[in-house]
Amino acid sequence: MAGEVESFDVVVVGSGFGGSVTACRLAEAGRSVLLLERGRPWPPGAFPRTPRETRSDGFWRPGAGLFGLWDMWSFSGLGAVVSSGLGGGSLIYANVALRKDAETFADDEHEHWPVRYEDLEPHYAAVEAMQGARPYPHDREPYASTPKTNALLDGARRAGLDAFLPNIAVSFAPDGEPPGAPLPPAPNVHDAPRHACRLCGECIVGCQYGAKNTLDYTYLSAARSAGAAIRCCCEATLLAPGDDGGWRVGYRQHLTAKAGHRAELLDPTDEPEREVRARSVVLAAGTFGSTRLLLSNRASLPRLSPRLGTGFSSNGDLLFFVRGADRALDPSTGPTITATARVDDRHSPSGREFFLQDAGAPTGSEWLWQAAELPQDLWRLRHRVRRQHAYAPPATARSPTRPETGSPGACAARRRPRSPRHGPARRRRDDRATAREICRARLHAGRRRHR
């Protein structure tokens, strides 16, 4: 009824891992649930790829009219990237679903965990089933030939480390079907068809094919089917105790961001500011989002700890780049992470166990990695050209019918004089490589002259 304040058993703020599981299970338990998500829905094919799309849809900066995927936080000494959208961090995470090792549930003078591994075991199993988390199917082609996976497994073996294929929440084509095959239809919040993984390495910038089992396809779809109301583009701003022992939750609608999205995933009104009532509120807006919401409502929440917002730590991830590997690693082939090596306490320089994982990256990034190799390539080329020059016969001995420099035929037509240092096979290989490189250099020089 117009003017009446809506009321729910539970309002969940945020649709990442915390929010979507909670909303799903509460709705399945028969509670009336409203889930508020500030970001937009991201159906297959919607993720930004080109520079222009990234400028308009890449970043979350509502003040500048941008309602994109990545929300960048920056503090002195700490920076973080989190996601904004239906499915939260699952939209840009690397799909890995690891269980915490049983022996790390410490209970000693330094650390005390309120739960044991055995308490969590059935829940791990339930989440893995729901998220379709299973190891990369490395026992069959084409998955068995993924260069970065094989490199990590080989390297771990050579270093005497235990290596394994962790569970990843990705749908692969069944045996006998090619990558990218359509997945069996199943209801989802986008009402969109999904396809099996194409090994494109784009998981951390959003999967365009619906192959990643992100929360919108799993828990949020189940929550919706169980009757939960999902409202995207709705940013919670107010949290205050109500008169009846419950809560008042206020939110701002990002009206311009709503355009083109399914009505079922939006607030039915076009009121820019709204308020609802709830018996309970679950704050699941991520580390930064939840803290910010609490701090900005401190006046109405007098029992908040004065330490709220202090003592942050980033996660323990450390990214590094491999150069000069003994093979091409093709980082854009395969999902972002496929394999893990366990560096146990004995092998770890710090004395604390850590995991090493392959890290794929989208195809576009290959231009960066390969451009970084350019100076080395040019140096090698210079070396080869100098050697070539040293062996070249005098100009007068050259054939007058030699093709023009800059023509692709120029290289194929030329043969290097015999090198006294190498055998014939090696010389032929060298020759072909040198010819190709000189050919490229000449084409380039020719083009420059024509400009």
Ligand X SMILES: Cc1cc2nc3c(=O)[nH]c(=O)nc-3n(C[C@H](O)[C@H](O)[C@H](O)COP(=O)(O)OP(=O)(O)OC[C@H]3O[C@@H](n4cnc5c(N)ncnc54)[C@H](O)[C@@H]3O)c2cc1C
Dihedral class, residue 375 (left if φ above 0, else alpha if ψ from -120 to 50, else beta): alpha
Site for ligand X in 94-153 (CB under 6 A): 94-96
Q: Is 201 in the site for ligand SF4 (CB under 6 A)?
A: yes
| Cα separation values, 154 from 145, 163, 324, 328, 339, Å | 13, 9, 16, 14, 11
Rounded to the nearest whole angstrom, what is the least distance from the CB of residue 395 to ligand X in the complex? 58
Q: Look at residue 201 and give the partner it binds from ligand SF4, ligand X, none, a contact being a CB closer than 5 to 8 Å depending on partner kind.
A: ligand SF4
Q: Which is nearer to ligand X, 19 or 201 (CB)?
A: 19
In terms of Cβ atoms closer than 10 Å to its own Cβ (0-12, 13-18, 19+), residue 423 is exposed
The DSSP call for residue 400 is T
**Least distance to ligand X, CB of residue 289, Å:** 3
Q: What angle do CA 138, 143, 146 make, to 5 degrees?
A: 100
- Contacting ligand X (CB under 6 A), which of 26, 36, 69, 228? 36
| Six-digit token string for 93 | 């995470």
Give the DSSP H/E element, type plus range, for residue 373.
none
Q: Which is nearer to ligand X, 319 or 397 (CB)?
A: 319
Per CB under 6 A, does 198 bind ligand SF4?
yes
* Nearest distance from C-beta of residue 94 to ligand SF4, angstroms: 9
Asked if 44 touches ligand X (CB under 6 A), the answer is no
| Tokens representing residue 356 in the block | 């090493």
Question: Which region, judged by CB under 6 A, interacts with ligand SF4, from 136-144, 184-192, 204-212, 267-275?
Answer: 204-212
| 212 interacts with ligand SF4 by CB under 6 A | yes
* DSSP secondary structure, 370-417, as one string: HHHTHHHHHHHHHHHHHHHHHHPPPGGGS-TTPPPTTSTHHHHH--PP
Spatial separation of the C-alpha atoms in residues 398 and 207, rounded to whole Å? 57
- Near ligand SF4 by CB under 6 A: residue from 12, 203, 278, 282: 203
Residue 240's nearest CA partner among 249, 231, 228 is 249
> Which range touches ligand SF4 (CB under 6 A), out of 67-75, 85-93, 201-209, 310-318?
201-209
219 residue type, one letter:
Y
Of 147 and 250, nearer to ligand SF4 (C-beta) is 147
Q: Which residues, in sequence order, are bridge partners of residue 23?
A: none
Q: Rounded CA gap, 153 and 166, in Å?
A: 12
Binding residue (CB under 6 A) for ligand SF4 from 209, 217, 219, 247: 209
Residues 77-96 that bind ligand X (CB under 6 A): 81-85, 88-89, 92-96
17 binds ligand X (CB under 6 A): yes
Burial call 104-141: b when 16+ CB within 10 Å, e when fewer? ebeeeeeeeeeeeeeebeeebeebeebbbbbebbbeee
> Residue 69 is inside which H or E element, if any?
none
Binding of ligand SF4 by 267 (CB under 6 A)? no
Residue identified by tokens 């001995």 is: 397
Choice from 82, 92, 127, 170 touching ligand SF4 (CB under 6 A): 170
Nearer to ligand X, 72 or 372 (CB): 72
Question: Closer to ligand X at the Cβ: 18 or 43?
Answer: 18
Instruction: Give me the least distance between CB of 360 and ligand SF4, in Å please.
Output: 7
Cα gap 322→155, rounded to integer Å: 12
Write the DSSP symbol of residue 76.
T
Q: Which is nearer to ligand X, 164 or 391 (CB)?
A: 164
Per rule CB under 6 A, is residue 211 in the interface with ligand SF4? Answer: yes
Residues 328-347 that bind ligand SF4 (CB under 6 A): 335
Question: What residues line the site for ligand SF4 (CB under 6 A)?
Answer: 170, 197-203, 207, 209, 211-212, 335
Question: What residues line the site for ligand X (CB under 6 A)?
Answer: 13-19, 36-39, 81-85, 88-89, 92-96, 204, 235-236, 284-286, 289, 293
